[in-house]
Structure 1
Amino acid sequence: MRSGLTELDAIVSVARHRSFRTAATSLGLSTSALSHAVAALEARIGVRLFHRTTRSVTLTAAGEQFVQEIAPALATIRGAIEQAGDQRDTPRGVLRINTSLGAAQQVMQPLVFEYLRRYPEMQVDIVTEGRLIDIVLEGFDAGIRLAEMVPQDMIAVPLGPSQRLVVVGSPAYFAEHGVPRTPVDLLQRPCIRSRMPGGAVWRWEFERRGETQQIDVKGPLTLDDGALMLQAARNGVGLAYLSEWNVAPDLAAGTLRCVLEDWTPAFDGLCLYYPGRRHVPAGLRAMIELIREQRTAAGRPPRRARK
């Protein structure tokens, strides 16, 4: 492994991930090569930058100061390299995107596959997780989330149509438990509870003509994955509150039915978002242009990005 910027990138990556293994993966290196590079730099400057144990990696006081000093400079240098590379006819490199699993499933076919077809010299690295992270701090070029979840300091590019959550159950479930007519009726029926990434159980939210209700539903099963909730609903375990996109095939096939539809209005859909205070890499610009092209082709005007 050569010295110079690569070693500094290694230090910043280990500091960010608090793990040599994860940092090595993000940089495309072996763990041993990364560890050797960090140790070599520490030996050269004569200061230990990390406390290492078999279970954790943390920065020393000197390491904290070192990373704070070099991280902005590295970002500036990478930006200059990216701007120089923008002179190429075709984008080349890696586009790192953070998103939720459900959002990734929605954008793979219409967006990501087409992007890779058009730009064969680009790679797309997608990390899915439920929690909302700081994409700048974690080293991502962009994120994809529902519009309401996008941080206010980010530029947001509308990605798809509006979305809607729906309450669904199987025909067998309704035959046994009846059909709820209002959100309050859910308190008397078994539901599939949803655990949020932070650990709290989500209260189902409803709105109709300005009236809002939050219902802390009860039921025999609590899950943190939409696919598992869908499976449980199909089997009559309880009612589930899921994205209409996820349940559309079941609704069409009749294996699930919607209820309380007048209490579940549509809301703004997915957005791709990125920081506006830094240079936009050519690969990300190409993704943004593809999004706008697809929105125009679908008859959805390319709304201005939120700044």
Structure 2
Amino acid sequence: MARHRSFRAAADQMGVSRSSLSHALSGLEQQLGVRLLHRTTRSVAPTEAGMRLLARLVPALRELDDMLAVVSDGTDGPAGTLRINASEVAARWLLSHVVPGFLQRYPRVALDIVSEGRLIDIVADGFDAGVRLREAIPQDMIAIPFGGDARFLAVASPTYLSRHGVPATPDDLRRHGCIRQRLPSGRPYCWEFARGRDEIAIEVPGVLTLDHNELMVEAAVDGLGIAFVPEAAARLALRDGRLRALLEDWSPVIPGFCLYYPGHRHVPPALRVFIDTLRAADASVRSG
């Protein structure tokens, strides 16, 4: 309920009725003598006491799941739900190269992949693993790289460039119509470029702001401006000529995606076989 902010959504996930869940929580609150949730007609939210309890319960429940998984490991194969939090581009890579084979080989595992832009605490939010660019991963996590290096590119359609010209330096972007990106925090993203020791971050001008890589690519293809996106998101449009890459000498490669998870506890069987499948898929993509 703390995660869903809704009795109905939480009850649906647990497979119980909303009234049963509400009565169970009320009984727990009476037993503890504290209120755990603020309730309104539209939503629920944890109280301060509820947040403290949740912070202690989540690791304990995850540890219990791990212990139960150890007991069942080796019987009929891994089972249960594997929750992964990933960026949009990373989730697409997993869906293309890993998920089909994984679900076919391990039918007793249910994959729950949440795609979002914001960085979260995967342990506190109840995920088994996360997927992000290597530079965004906390240092205390175990990281499994895949997909090779990455880079961000400024891209635009031939039609746009024929009308407005081709920027020769990052500073030229200040005189162009750019498709800006809104971060999960609500702030605009500053486009970052580097060449040798020179680095520059620009808060570009533009009358269109989006928060989804695919939408930014589509807008650029339609000639609405210059977008700044992961190369993987624009690869097809670049390949067939609908987009052109700009300022490539100012767009260095960076370490790519990693699947990451806490290293201080037993790795659940479902996550372990997912890692094996990921590594095999990555090797196949690199060799093919």
Aligned to 1:280: 267
**Does 2:127 correspond to 1:140?**
yes
Aligned to 1:305: none
Work out the CA distance in 2 between the residues paired with 1:279 and 1:264.
Answer: 39
| 1:117 pairs with one of 100, 104, 117 | 104
Aligned to 1:170: 157
Residue identity opposite 1:181 in structure 2: A
- How big is the shift at 1:218? 0.7
The 5 A counterparts of 1:95-114 are: 95-114=82-101
CA RMSD of aligned residues (A): 2.3
For 1:80, what is the secondary structure of its paired residue?
helix
Aligned to 1:204: 191
Aligned to 1:9: none
Higher mean displacement: 39-48 or 197-206: 39-48
**Does 2:141 correspond to 1:154?**
yes
- How big is the shift at 1:71? 4.6
| 1:262 pairs with one of 242, 249, 254 | 249
Work out the CA distance in 2 between the residues paired with 1:190 and 1:95.
Answer: 42
Q: Deviations over 1:161-182 (max 9, x none)?
A: 1112111111111111111111
Work out the CA distance in 1 between the residues paired with 2:152 and 2:49.
Answer: 49
**Does 2:11 correspond to 1:32?**
no
- How big is the shift at 1:145? 1.1
For 1:125, what is the secondary structure of its paired residue?
strand
Work out the CA distance in 1 between the residues paired with 2:236 and 2:60.
Answer: 50
Work out the CA distance in 1 between the residues paired with 2:207 and 2:56.
Answer: 52
Residue identity opposite 1:254 in structure 2: G
**Does 2:258 correspond to 1:271?**
yes
For 2:259, what is the secondary structure of its paired residue?
strand
Cα distance change of structure 1 residues 134 and 26 upon mapping to structure 2, 3 Å threshold: farther
Aligned to 1:225: 212
Work out the CA distance in 2 between the residues paired with 1:47 and 1:85.
Answer: 37
Q: Deviations over 1:221-277 (max 9, x none)?
A: 111111221121112111111121121211122111111111111111111111111
Cα distance change of structure 1 residues 51 and 195 upon mapping to structure 2, 3 Å threshold: closer
- How big is the shift at 1:190? 1.1
Residue identity opposite 2:180 in structure 1: R
Residue identity opposite 1:21 in structure 2: R
The alignment-based identity, stated in percent, is 49
Higher mean displacement: 199-208 or 29-38: 29-38
Query: What TM-score do you get using the length of structure 1 for normalisation?
Result: 0.85
Cα distance change of structure 1 residues 196 and 48 upon mapping to structure 2, 3 Å threshold: closer
Aligned to 1:91: 78
Q: Are 1:206 and 1:213, in contact at CA under 8 Å, matched by a contact in 2?
A: yes
Cα distance change of structure 1 residues 173 and 64 upon mapping to structure 2, 3 Å threshold: closer
Aligned to 1:74: 61
Count of matched residue positions in the alignment of Structure 1 and Structure 2: 287
Work out the CA distance in 2 between the residues paired with 1:256 and 1:96.
Answer: 35
- How big is the shift at 1:20? 2.3
Cα distance change of structure 1 residues 254 and 50 upon mapping to structure 2, 3 Å threshold: closer
Residue identity opposite 1:133 in structure 2: I
Gaps of 5+ in 2: none
Higher mean displacement: 250-259 or 74-83: 74-83
Q: Are 2:192 and 2:202, in contact at CA under 8 Å, matched by a contact in 1?
A: yes
Cα distance change of structure 1 residues 44 and 257 upon mapping to structure 2, 3 Å threshold: same
**Does 2:236 correspond to 1:249?**
yes
Residue identity opposite 1:155 in structure 2: I
Higher mean displacement: 50-59 or 116-125: 50-59
Work out the CA distance in 2 between the residues paired with 1:278 and 1:211.
Answer: 42
Gaps of 5+ in 1: 1-13, 301-307
Work out the CA distance in 1 between the residues paired with 2:53 and 2:92.
Answer: 39
Q: Are 1:16 and 1:137, in contact at CA under 8 Å, matched by a contact in 2?
A: no
Work out the CA distance in 2 between the residues paired with 1:155 and 1:117.
Answer: 26
Work out the CA distance in 1 between the residues paired with 2:88 and 2:239.
Answer: 23
Residue identity opposite 1:223 in structure 2: L
